[in-house]
Amino acid sequence: MHPPPQQPGPPPAGPYGAGAPRGAGGPPPRHPVPYAGQPTPPVTWAGPPPGGTRPPSGPPLSSHPYPPPYHHAAGPYPVRPATGPSLLGRAWSVLGTVAAATATFCVGIVSATYDNIGLGPDPAGWRVGLTLFWWVLAAGLAAAVVWRDRHAVVVCLATAAAGVLTPVGAMAPLVALPFVIARERRWKVVALCTAATTLAVGVSFWRDAARDGAAVIFSTTPVGTTATSYLDPVGYVVLTLLCLALSVGAGFLRRALGRADAAQQVAVAENRRAEALSTQADELRTELSRQDERELIAREMHDTVAHNLSVVSLQASALEVTTNDPGVVDAARTMRSSAHRALDEMRALITSLRAGSEQYTGSAPALGDLATLLDDARTAGVDLAATVFVTDADAAPPALTRAVYRVVQESLTNVMKHAPGARAEVDVRARPGDGVTITVRNALTRDLDPYATPLLGEPGATVGGTGVPGGGAGVVGMRERCEAVGGTFDAGVDGGRFVVRARLPWDPPTEQPGTGRGR
């Protein structure tokens, strides 16, 4: 009895196996999850430690900040495929950047202008120059806002410092703070940026509250009166808290959206990995089934075909030494030689089946062996006329020589089986670049007449005139051999004779650069 095919079991124990710890010193270090719009640096997984499982082979999976395996998934997740930003999303991002830069510039211009008014009614040269400098600085802050996504911390702190030291307002740090909250993992940095922004906003409102008359931004003068009303200090505090609340709220909203998008990307990657593992498991099961079938065929061939061939060889040897008829001795010797060759090829075929090789690993007959094959056919009693022209026989690839040899061999076997005594003509012409042309003709006997014999597959269809049964797959096998090497095959009645034609390609040898010689 032979053991049944083994099915894929649970993951092996080890650093990455089921039920095993992920590391000797505790849980693995956490990897930051990227948010939408943040560039993710490439992370390369160096592989499991010695003794761990190997990652599945196949197409590369989606890159993300977590090294595999992510978890033992039971199957694919119903998630949407990961896609890049849409055209509408990119347009919305550009419009938001333009709006933020415009608002920063406008707030800076207004704040600098009112600060200049507070210095007095008579404009002096240095005051005009200072105001122009504040305007240029406001334009620089507006330009810095463009990089609030990639360099949020730097932009937030720099613009907050500008808002504290100069009268250009605090719009820029308020715009940059949401990106700091959304991107930064270090909460101390987030707290520092929030405090700097709060200070910039508070100083900007205090600077406005400290001025008098028309230099105060938050002031109103009713029409027809000279009395001016100003915003009280509580109002400035409320405005400060409101601006900070809007900025911080926008930051946490963006952070939540980033987490959701990152989780979606990880789910998509895990879904692809689960599909790859499922495909690999199916391939492994199929390969195990195929290997079981190969081993079964190898055992049956060894126990039946090889045994019977050995018996034929032994009986031929006994007949060779016990008879005095020279003709019988020659026939027995030929039979013994054929049985030995068949046994050798059978052993190579059984070895290939047991090893699970995709290709036959036995030695391939050369084109020069066609002469021996034709001589053996003549010795077996075939009335044979052969014409063989081969150029560079040693340069022919093994797959081509095996196909040529088997087609000629099977054609002669069919002649001996189905048309005993008929004259056969074999024509083989082979040359690199021109290919190989095989033509085998023999007289059409009743056994080969398609109108007189049963069709292939019917009772008696594979029993030739010699009474030797066949498998009924000789023509099919020749056609498959020819098609496997990119050739064509045809067999049938033509002009009162049965004709086998095969055309196989033989590429010319390639020339090595600088030598002018083929390899």
State pLDDT tens for residues 21-70. Answer: 433 444 444 444 444 444 444 444 444 444 444 444 444 444 444 344 43
Whole-angstrom CA distances from 320 to 134, 324, 325, 329, 381 are: 117, 9, 9, 5, 18
Give the number of other CB atoms < 10 A from CB of residue 506: 22
**How many percent of the chain have pLDDT more than 90?**
21
User: b vs e for 51-67, b when ≥16 Cβ sit within 10 Å of the residue's Cβ?
Assistant: eebebbeeeeeeebbbb
**How many percent of the chain have pLDDT more than 70?**
73
The DSSP H or E segment spanning 163 is: helix 152-165
d(CA 239, CA 209): 12
Which domains, and CATH codes, for the chain?
Answer: 89-231 (no CATH), 367-449+473-504 (3.30.565.10)
Residue in 122, 6, 81 with CA at minimum distance from that of residue 264: 81
Averaged pLDDT of the chain: 76
pLDDT at 286: 87
- 413 has pLDDT over 60: yes
pLDDT at 426: 94
The more confident residue out of 448 and 323 is 323
pLDDT tens for 231-245 read: 888 888 999 999 999
Q: Average pLDDT of 96-123?
A: 82
- 249 has pLDDT over 60: yes
- 409 has pLDDT over 80: yes
SS3 call for 214: helix
Q: Average pLDDT of 351-369?
A: 71
Per DSSP (E only), the strands in 299-449 are: 383-390, 423-431, 435-443
- Assign 499 a pLDDT band (cuts: 50, 70, 90): very high
Q: What type of residue sits at position 87? A: L
pLDDT at 21: 41
- Assign 18 a pLDDT band (cuts: 50, 70, 90): very low
pLDDT at 196: 93
pLDDT at 208: 84
Do 437 and 503 contact (CB within 8 A), yes or no? yes
The residue with tokens 């740090």 is 173
Which range in 52-61, 356-365, 503-512 is most confidently predicted, on average pLDDT? 503-512
Q: Classify strands 383-390 and 423-431 as parallel, antiparallel or unpaired.
A: parallel
d(CA 306, CA 346): 7
pLDDT tens for 256-305 read: 888 888 888 999 999 999 999 999 999 988 888 888 888 888 787 777 77
- Assign 450 a pLDDT band (cuts: 50, 70, 90): very low
pLDDT at 398: 87
pLDDT at 85: 61
